[in-house]
Amino acid sequence: MTYEEALRAARGNMGKCHACPVCNGLACKNTIPGPGAKGTGTVAARNYDAWQNIYLNMDTIAPNLGVDTAFELFGERFDLPVFTAPIGAVTNHYGSKYDEYTYDALIACGAREAGIAAFTGDGLNEMFFEAGCTAMEKAGFAVPTVKPWHRDLVFKKIDYAKSKGAKWIAMDIDASGLPFLKSMTPPSGPKTVEELREFADYAGMPFILKGIMTPAGAEKAIAAGASAIVVSNHGGRVLDHTPATARVLRAIAETVDGRIPIFVDGGIRTGYDVFKALALGADAVLIGRPFVCAVYGGGAEGVRAYADKLRSELRDAMEMTGCATLADITYDRICHE
């Protein structure tokens, strides 16, 4: 199966998602529930567009060493610097083809079979987080992503993830912008550096903060003891009028200056975009919506098909720019319009 075949099979089975040939945020715009973005619904499209304005500097006068796309982090090894982004509450957003447990198992196992790994999601229904952790247990590795609930609930969810064998844990700190989180009692949402440090210490494993969009936010994440950050605006779902992640990535990477690894997501669709993200200073990327289409159209095989497409595109980009390893993908390998 190819990714295009998975997309065709997914079409018509995904609620408000049209499984478009190019997942650029236009057809779904502001559909929430659904796969879209908040308010004007333009941020997802902005994320996508920003990668289109970055180009690769071709240079084939280089040693013919072949390319190695392997990525290592916190003692784990992956074939590609690519992870599936956490997607929670799939039945609410994509219709009833899969329940949460089935969806999470397909994406987490498919990702492992493809040599990559999944981040899994969370939501109001406790079952959403549990489904991700159950899939992690089945797949052998995944990264449960807990929302910034009130303190006791975060501790409870960290305990649950540990009981299922989590090796890394993430928190989408930007989920503060989701309406259901705003209205909770006791209050959920923004956390101080001290509160986050308590979570990081309690987790006792790599703790990744997702939803960082400024150099100042990155500094606070480091002060809070985050082991890594994800530069992300949640695909435009938490705050309208945010800049594209590709636009803020380099400034954040310069501030972080190698102290902790950086992931980025938002509109990354091809292996060429992965290359651009690494050139701007990311260590690895997360990809969300296209992997959902891959699962809806092809199950675990769809995930493998999309990962294979990303792999061959990334290899092509590396070969044609003279990059033998991921470390060779530096800022001088790209140019802007």
Ligand X SMILES: Cc1cc2nc3c(=O)[nH]c(=O)nc-3n(C[C@H](O)[C@H](O)[C@H](O)COP(=O)(O)O)c2cc1C
Interface with ligand X (CB under 6 A): 35, 47, 85-88, 93, 121-123, 145, 172, 210, 232, 234-235, 237, 265-268, 287-289
Name the 3-class secondary structure at 292.
helix
For ligand X, the closer CB: 172 or 283: 172
For ligand X, the closer CB: 67 or 128: 128
Least distance CB 40 / ligand X (angstroms)? 16
Name the 3-class secondary structure at 234.
helix
Strand partners, 117: 83
Least distance CB 124 / ligand X (angstroms)? 10
Least distance CB 86 / ligand X (angstroms)? 4
Could you please report the per-residue DSSP string of 34-63? TT--STT--HHHHHHHHHHTEEE-----S-
Least distance CB 133 / ligand X (angstroms)? 13
For ligand X, the closer CB: 106 or 323: 106
Least distance CB 147 / ligand X (angstroms)? 7
Question: If we measure between CA atoms, which residue out of 178, 240, 171, 241 comes closest to residue 212?
Answer: 171
CB 85 within 8 A of CB 290: no
CB 170 within 8 A of CB 143: yes
Least distance CB 317 / ligand X (angstroms)? 18
Neighbours of 246 (CB within 10 A): 27
Name the 3-class secondary structure at 154.
helix
For ligand X, the closer CB: 73 or 244: 244
For ligand X, the closer CB: 91 or 320: 91
Name the 3-class secondary structure at 14.
coil
For ligand X, the closer CB: 207 or 322: 207
Joined tokens for residue 241: 């009028």
Joined tokens for residue 131: 């489904």
Please give the Cα distance from 316 to 311 (Å, whole number): 9
For ligand X, the closer CB: 265 or 283: 265
| 275 CA to centre of own chain | 15
Joined tokens for residue 235: 């695909």
Least distance CB 230 / ligand X (angstroms)? 7
